Structure 1
Amino acid sequence: MSKLSKKLSGEEITVAKNYGALTVLQALNYILPFLIIPFLERNLGLERFGLVMLAQYLMAFCIAFADFGFSTTATREISLIKEGKGDYSIIYFKVFWARMILLIAVFILLCVFVFAIPRFRVEWHIYLLSYGVVIGQTILADWFFQGIERMQLLTIINAVAKILFTVLLFVFISSPEDYSYVPLFNSIGFLVAGITMFTISLNYVSWQWPNFKDSKEFYKESFQIFISDISSQLTFAANGLVLGLFVGDSVVGIFSAFDRLMIAAKKMYLPFYQAMYPYMSRKNLLQKNKMMKKLIPSILAIGLVGLLGIVFLGGWVVDFLFKDPEIYNNVNLLQWMGLIAFFTGLTLLFTNLYAPSRKLFKDRMNVMVIGTIFNLALGFSIVPYLGLQGTVITAICTEFVMLLMAIYFYYKDLKQISKT
């Protein structure tokens, strides 16, 4: 290890440490769903399980609204301030106060949405109890610790919160009547992590009251990322929400079982991209392109392994994890969804690493928006007739369209660079 450290620069060692920390956190994100999702399906039944998963889809949408793209733009700004050894306080509180305003606005919109639609009003308390997840994630300041490249502490706190949530579930949930505990305990876990990390982050900054002067350009860039993230989360949440509107909670439960496995497959790329983002942001164009040429074949190989793993092991995994025969009877749909694991690696390479590091926020936004429009148009067209199969077709086709758009904008940028 010491010989390897001598070959790496100080920045590369920091990237390696952050990647290690994020990999540990991601390992928990892999392991815990394999414990939690089957446990909930067995103890709550498919219909109640589908309900709490539907609430989680909706909360993912709320999180993207409250974030407003700051997780990308602010991380980059903090990274540059770190390199120049400047003061983080101004940018930190520009983000913090904007997020507090958004947090209140999103809660009001959530209440209007839930109580205005009979389908959601019946179980209104599940959605409102779930909002603690949004509060915890909003005050977490993970973007700040990513920017200053101190991910180890964030990993520890997040791990403790996730384990706390898991323990509470296993202790208190034993029957379908306990379904209200799921959003409550999930919120407790996120709030513990958020409050703890927010308190620690204040050690790095000096307190400031709201001041939004000279922030037009920063908020403009954040808005472009916001549209991208809303589109991404809408794409993620729309599949479950549309299915729930036209079919019902039990079918949402089947899709959620498969979708959670796909989310785990997608997230295998994220620790590396998150660790590399501040590092790549500081590099010049030539260095960025050299890194991309090395990364593309590696990501392709990882995606192929993921696809083959889901195709050949998907049936065994579903049979091992879930008891409801309806889930296993649809396992062929999960195997087709393995294509998502293959497509998404390269798409995320552009949208989560290359484009933000190059400040190609508009191109990133276009990829997400086009994907969302396509997803909604296809979903509302075929899900009412094909149900679960229609949702799976929509998810696969959307990922493929987004990959094509990412490839287009990447090579478009390369051509523009070659002309300069």
Structure 2
Amino acid sequence: MKDMKKKRLLHNTLFLYALTFSGYFFSLITVPYQTRVLGPEFYGKVGFAIAMMTYFRLVIDFGFILSATADISQHREDKQEVAKIYTAVMRAKMLFTGLSFAVLLSICYFVPMFRQDISLYLLTFASVAVSAFLPDFLYRGLETMKRITIRTVAIQAFFVLMIFLFLKTPQQYYFVPLFTLIGNAVALILAQRHVSKKLGIKFVPLEKGYLHETIRKSSPFFFSRIAATMYQVTNTFFLGLMYSPGNVKVGMYVASDRLVGTAKSAFSPIADSLYPYMVKNRDFRLLKKIMWIIMPPVTIGCIVLGIYANEFMALFLGAAFYDAGSILRILLPIVAITPLVYMLGFPTLSPMGLAKHANASTVVSAIVQLIGLTVLFLTGTFTITTLCAITVVSQFTVLLYRVIIVWKNRHIFSEKEPIKDVSKT
């Protein structure tokens, strides 16, 4: 039985990596093309819109990618309970989408800077909202990643084709969210058909209070994800407000941050596939072995890239982005520690019964980030360089917090019985 579980873990990890590396492949084609066609100014506009909509995406998702994944994993043999979880999550997302759309319309109406580019923001919101309804939490919880992989690769291929066919001038920057929206809409229709027809999971009536309880149970994960995403999204958002979304400096930062985000996502398949596996099996020895395999090549790779950062940016994104290498160089320590941050998070702390500390660590990090930003503003030392430095410090805070908690509770590793998750009590 244990061998079958490990086989399923390996199978899903491979599909997650196929999904991730397909994203790298398409990015290698499209990102350099976009940066060359749009230039730093319009590429910065698109990046600012995506950063802003990430806030709404977090609200719509509300941490269900973690809470609902764990619930589905624990009840996967009970189809009726799975259907209830699925129904509650989708209803909650409908509610949060309506609220988010109302807020966005108000912002675009009252703030001239947003009103001038309202089509960009509405298209980006629509693409993000549709993507949020894709039932990834269901497939992850059931550990059937094949469907997600095929669907996502198809979306990416469509996006690449449309970008090459139609994006020809900087003024067509709104094509980026438009083609993403079309691809996500098609994927959502196909995913819903598969869930209903093949998996036999349909929307079901919910007893009174079930929806409220689902939202309440996911709220710690929501605040955790808000905090974890704060540096990446808020940095771009603040830079856009300070310099205007079309400023070259914003474009330089967005390009560097996009590459850091892409590098970080290389490690998410391991953590994502380990999370439901660890919740059920608590195989800490396997987790430790994976860390020892991953960390040396990641560290060496970051050092080499840091030495040649400017040349890499010019070669990859175009000569106009040569100076972005100095930004990338400062942010690279975040990439180096990401495998440890991810794996010492929910895959380790949830089976230890300490999931609340995975959430708390990101909240503490967000507080450090906000304090740092406040100090920079008050002392007049706010620059892209100091912003990046504060960001690195805040991300190291996450790692330090999790290392301390794991070390203090290391006796749990030798315990055989599952530990009750204290975050849910």
- Which string of whole-angstrom CA distances, capped at 9 and with x for unpartnered residues, describes residues 320-364 of structure 1? 122243x21241331222111112221111224223444533212
User: 1:138: which partner in 2?
Assistant: 132
Contact between 1:243 and 1:391, CA under 8 Å: does it hold in 2? no
Give the deviation of 1:111 after TM superposition: 2.1
Amino acid at match of 1:42: R
Partners of 1:298 and 1:221 in 2: CA distance: 35
Q: Is this contact kept in 2: 1:59–1:133, CA < 8 A?
A: no
Deviation, structure 1 residue 405 = 1.6
Is 1:323 aligned to 2:318, yes or no? Answer: yes
Could you report, residue by residue, the CA deviation over 1:94-115 in whole angstroms, capped at 9, with x for unpaired residues? Answer: 1111111111111112222333
In structure 2, the CA distance between the partners of 1:313 and 1:8, relative to structure 1 (3 Å rule), is farther
Q: Name the CA shift for 1:400/1:183 in 2 (closer, same or farther; >3 Å).
A: same
In the alignment, does 2:97 pair up with 1:116? Answer: no
Matched, 1:180 2:180: no
Partner of 2:423: none
Residues 415, 116 of structure 1: alpha-carbon distance in 2 compared, 3 angstrom cutoff: farther
SS at match of 2:409: helix
Task: Tell me the CA shift for residue 143 of structure 1.
Answer: 0.7
State the distance in 1 between where 2:113 and 2:164 align: 29
Q: For 1:39-50, list aligned pairs within 5 A.
A: 39-50=33-44
Kept after mapping to 2: 8 A contact 1:94/1:212:
no
- SS of corresponding position for 1:140: coil
Alignment pair present for 1:221 and 2:236: no
Q: 1:277 and 1:25 mapped to 2: Cα distance?
A: 17
For structure 1, which segment, 39-48 or 351-360, has the greater mean C-alpha deviation from structure 2 after superposition? 351-360
Q: CA 1:116 to 1:412, structure 2 compared with 1: closer, same or farther past 3 Å? A: farther
1:269–1:417 Cα change, 3 Å: closer
Compared CA separation, residues 156 and 417, structure 1 to 2 (3 A)? closer
Shift of the alpha carbon at 1:159?
A: 0.5
CA distance in 2, matches of 1:102, 1:358: 31
**Of 163, 171, 184, which aligns to 1:169?**
163
Report deviation, 1:222. 0.5
Deviation at 1:85, TM superposition (A): 6.8
Equivalent residue for 1:4? Answer: none
C-alpha RMSD over aligned residues: 2.4
Match of 1:53 in 2: 47
Distance 2:111 2:375 in 1: 21
1:206 corresponds to: 202
Cα 1:365–1:129 change in 2 (3 A) is same
* TM-score, length basis structure 2: 0.89
Is 1:270 matched up with 2:265? no
Q: Which amino acid aligns with 1:97?
A: R
SS at match of 1:206: coil
Aligned pair in 2 of structure 1 residues 357, 59: CA closer, same or farther (>3 Å)? Answer: farther
Cα deviations across residues 227-282 of structure 1 (Å, max 9, x unaligned)? 11112222220010111112233211101111111111101111111122211110
Of 247-256 and 310-319, more deviation after overlay is shown by 310-319
What residue is the counterpart of 1:412 in the other structure? 408
Measured after TM superposition, the shift of residue 37 of structure 1 is 2.0
| Distance change in 2, residues 1:385/1:164 (3 Å) | same
Tell me what 2:65 maps to.
71
Tell me whether 118-127 or 179-188 shows the greater mean CA deviation.
Answer: 118-127
> Cα distance 1:417–1:152, how it changes in 2: closer, same or farther (>3 A)?
closer
Gap change, CA 1:155 and 1:184, over 3 Å in 2 = same
Determine helix, strand or coil for the equivalent of 1:130.
helix
Residues 9/211 of structure 1: CA separation in 2 closer, same or farther (3 Å cut): same
**Structure 2 residue aligned with 1:127:** 121
Q: Secondary structure at the match of 1:150?
A: coil
Q: Give the aligned partner of residue 11 of structure 1.
A: 5
CA contact (8 A) 1:347 1:403 kept: yes
Letter matched to residue 270 of structure 1: S
Deviation by residue 1:155-185 (Cα, 9 ceiling, x = unmatched) = 0011101111111111111111111211111
Are residues 1:389 and 2:349 paired? no
Q: Which runs of 5+ in 2 are unaligned?
A: 420-425
Q: Secondary structure at the match of 1:263?
A: helix
Greater shift, 138-147 or 26-35, is seen at 26-35
Secondary structure in 1 aligned to 2:168? Answer: coil
Give the match for residue 422 of structure 2: none
| 1:214, distance to aligned residue in structure 2 (A) | 4.2
Q: Which amino acid aligns with 2:35?
A: E
Stretch of structure 1 that moved more, 236-245 or 329-338: 329-338
* Contact 1:94–1:211, Cα closer than 8 Å, also in 2: no
Task: State how far apart, in whole Å, the 2-side matches of 1:412 and 1:217 are.
Answer: 32
Aligned residues: 410
8 Å contact kept, 2:23–2:153:
no
Aligned to 1:230, which of 198, 206, 226?
A: 226
Are 2:399 and 1:403 equivalent residues in the alignment? yes
CA distance in structure 1 between the partners assigned to 2:169 and 2:160 by the alignment = 16
- Assess if the C-alpha contact under 8 Å between 1:132 and 1:191 holds in 2: no
Partner of 2:373: 379
- TM-score normalised by length of structure 1: 0.90
Structure 1 residues 85 and 101: alpha-carbon distance in aligned structure 2, compared to 1, 3 A threshold: closer
How far did 1:36 drift? 1.9
Taking the aligned partners of 1:246 and 1:324, their CA distance within structure 2 comes to 25
C-alpha separation between the residues in 2 aligned to 1:134 and 1:235? 19
Q: 1:85 to 1:291 in 2, by over 3 A?
A: farther
| SS at structure 1 position matched to 2:143 | coil
State the partner residue of 1:307.
302
Q: Which residue pairs with 2:340 in the alignment?
A: 346
The answer to whether the Cα contact below 8 Å between 1:132 and 1:190 also exists between their aligned partners in 2 is no
Counterpart of 2:327?
A: 333
Look up the equivalent residue of 2:303 and give its one-letter code: L
SS in 1 for 2:204: coil
| Aligned partners of 1:371 and 1:398 also within 8 Å | yes
